[in-house]
Amino acid sequence: MQMQVVGLTTPQEVYVASKDRKFRINELLVLEDLYQGNLIGEVVESNSYNRFIPLSIGSSIHDADVLESLKHLGYSISEDEINIAKVKLITEASFPVVTGSSVRLPAFDEVRGHLLKGVREDGLLLGEIKNTEETAATMEDDLKGLCEMFSGGKLYKTKNVPFFLDLRSFQQYPHIGVFGGSGSGKSFGLRVIMEEIMKHGFPALMLDPHYEMEFSESQESSEEKRDFKDNFRKFQIGEHIGVEFLNLSRGDLLALLSAVSPLTEAMSSAIESLHLRGDTYLSFSNRLELLSEALEMGRLRIEQALKQDMEPMEREKHVKMRQLLEEYQNIPLPSVQGIAWRLRRLHNSGLFSHDIKPVKEAMMQGKLAVIQGPIWLLQVFSTYLLSNIYRKRRDYKDGELKGEASGDYFPPFIIATDEAHNFAPKGRDAATKGIITEIAQEGRKYGVFLILATQRPTLLDETVTAQLNTKIIFRTVRASDIGTISEETDIKAEEARRLPYLPSGDAFVSSPLFGRTVAIRVRFPHTRSPHTQNPLDEIQLHRENSEDKLLEAIKPHLPIYAASFARAVEEINRQAGANYEVRTLKAALDTLVENGKLTRKASPLGDIYQMADIY
Ligand SMILES: Nc1ncnc2c1ncn2[C@@H]1O[C@H](COP(=O)(O)OP(=O)(O)OP(=O)(O)O)[C@@H](O)[C@H]1O
């Protein structure tokens, strides 16, 4: 197996040819340069030619120089099969590589530094580095076969070099972007990242608008049975967690109300004067309701009413209304009503009936807290939650830095979310945008890290995108998104061209730690999402279940004449938990006949249905 550098070379890029070896994209090669010693390069394009498709027919890489030097090196261009790779040097050479230099595959130790960063114990094992099988053969045994891969319908142990993301390096490169279109493997990727974070017991918080981040069921097919029941806790907003109204700052309250629907300026200033220190939900909402009633009635009618006879409670109410009207007469009624309905909407969601203590507790214990809720409520709540825990961490850390007796300990943590473009959108406001931008810019100092996943990197706020040091990029088809990705990462033009065709689960990792883009395949997750049932299977299962139920319910009535359906249908419905009418019952029984479970015979009194096995 002979491989050589051919054609015109530069210090950054060369072509390598071989008669008998097909090059694999992203594999690493050693170029044995006579003067500069061994150089490491990565295959970025691979082509193969034979005499039936002569080299001279259009392709970017076989320019005249390549052809010329192939001839010099003894290749017979019209007869041999020739494989040619475009190779980018990973470490730049000082001057162009010598044409004709021998090329070989590296032993693992020669490229270890390019493939593994940090120590294994601190790494998040995301999967394998693509096309490193031959190099991996010379790897120490305890790095071999570390994770399960799923490809081509088969599950197997990896034969490639494992890919670790060094958790320790987050201090330097704190934030991660996960990009990829629908079905590209982004959710699987996020799941794997979160599983790895849980393995390290690193406190984390995940916003889960899709209700899919469940880690208690292990993959059935996997050999490595592993669940994370004790490593994560799931909270539904309004059900398990919420905000304590009493502890809300004015700013928090404004953020919450505006997340329901943007506030007008008049509303914001009304809140400034209407919200009082020590307000509970009840005292604040009562004030709003009474004021709005008072504004509607007007001073004159309130005075008149007070002159009439009234129940003491009614009187008290009217006195209070008069007082409020005096105090807040300049606030327009629509503003008060606008605030009141926003507040009611928050209250109806259950938001004010709970607090965030359980989330903090889970994080203090090094667990992953999964926060679920509809996206609007998630926005509202996470604004409050993120600000609260970030502040807690910042206060603790600042106190420590100043050498002051520090307050309560709160650990470093990771915040992860899918649909990140909803939480920090470009060009428009969202409740969460402020806090996410702040963490993107300042979080590093406090050990607060972001993992932001989105299908649409183009819609993510630029300030935030610019702070995402590490990017994991799955299949992306949309040209505008490929454009954004190309601008924001060190992804090579050849790789950008491959983005629309990446198989699900393959990704490019662009990270300053590696100094280049690494092509990986994400491992098979240990756990599965509750959504993985195929809708077709769901329908089939449901159908079988309801058929079985109907069969059980009809049994006592068999044999049954079509004419007797009217009498039996009610009881059958009760037993089968169904809602048949005479007509639909007949159709359902006919289906059972088709499936061979019942038989139908014509008789002078109409059709008779009977159990199939009797005949
Ligand atoms: N690492 C992987 N290994 C094996 N198969 C994978 C991997 N990642 C994804 N797949 C396959 O691709 C399918 C789609 O992946 P996934 O659900 O992660 O896509 P997605 O990008 O999150 O899409 P969406 O945004 O629509 O949810 C999976 O159901 C699985 O069959």
The answer as to whether 607 is a domain residue is yes
Q: How far, in Å, CA of 60 to CA of 143, rounded?
A: 38
Q: How many domains does the chain have?
A: 4
Q: How far, in Å, CA of 316 to CA of 411, rounded?
A: 50
Domain that holds residue 565: 535-614
Q: Are residues 375 and 475 in the same domain?
A: yes
Q: Are residues 441 and 378 in the same domain?
A: yes
In this predicted structure, what is the pLDDT of residue 128? 97
DSSP letters for 195-230:
HHHHHTT--EEEEETTS----SSB-SS-SS----TT
The answer as to whether 391 is a domain residue is yes
Q: Are residues 318 and 391 in the same domain?
A: no
Q: Are residues 479 and 358 in the same domain?
A: yes
User: Which residue has its alpha carbon closest to ligand 1 atom 26?
Assistant: 182
Spacing, Cα 526 to ligand 1 middle (Å): 14
Mutate which of 160, 179, 187 for ligand 1? The one with the most ligand atoms within 8 Å of its CB, which is 187
Residue 46 labelled as part of a binding site: no
Q: Are residues 477 and 542 in the same domain?
A: no
The answer as to whether 542 is a domain residue is yes
Over residues 551-604, the pLDDT tens digits come to 888 888 888 888 788 888 888 888 877 788 888 888 888 888 888 888 888 888
Q: Are residues 102 and 7 in the same domain?
A: yes
Mutate which of 188, 192, 224, 473 for ligand 1? The one with the most ligand atoms within 8 Å of its CB, which is 188
User: Which residue has its alpha carbon closest to ligand 1 atom 18?
Assistant: 185
434 pLDDT exceeds 50?
yes
pLDDT band at 615 (very low <50, low <70, confident <90, very high): very low
Q: Are residues 573 and 473 in the same domain?
A: no
Within 13 Å, how many C-alpha atoms sit on residue 324's CB side? 29
- Return the DSSP state at 367: P
Over residues 39-84, the pLDDT tens digits come to 999 998 888 876 555 555 445 555 667 777 777 777 777 767 888 8
Q: Are residues 360 and 233 in the same domain?
A: yes
Q: Are residues 551 and 429 in the same domain?
A: no
Q: How far, in Å, CA of 131 to CA of 23, rounded?
A: 10
The answer as to whether 433 is a domain residue is yes
User: Which residue has its alpha carbon closest to ligand 1 atom 23?
Assistant: 183
Ligand 1 proximal residues by C-beta, below 6 Å: 150, 180, 182-188, 455, 504-505, 522, 524
Q: How far, in Å, CA of 308 to CA of 323, rounded?
A: 18
The answer as to whether 138 is a domain residue is no
In this predicted structure, what is the pLDDT of residue 370? 96
DSSP-derived 3-state class of residue 293: helix
**Whether the Cβ atoms of residue 519 and residue 506 lie closer than 8 Å to each other:** yes
The answer as to whether 116 is a domain residue is no
The answer as to whether 448 is a domain residue is yes
The answer as to whether 527 is a domain residue is no
Residue 186 labelled as part of a binding site: yes
Q: Are residues 367 and 224 in the same domain?
A: yes
pLDDT band at 464 (very low <50, low <70, confident <90, very high): very high
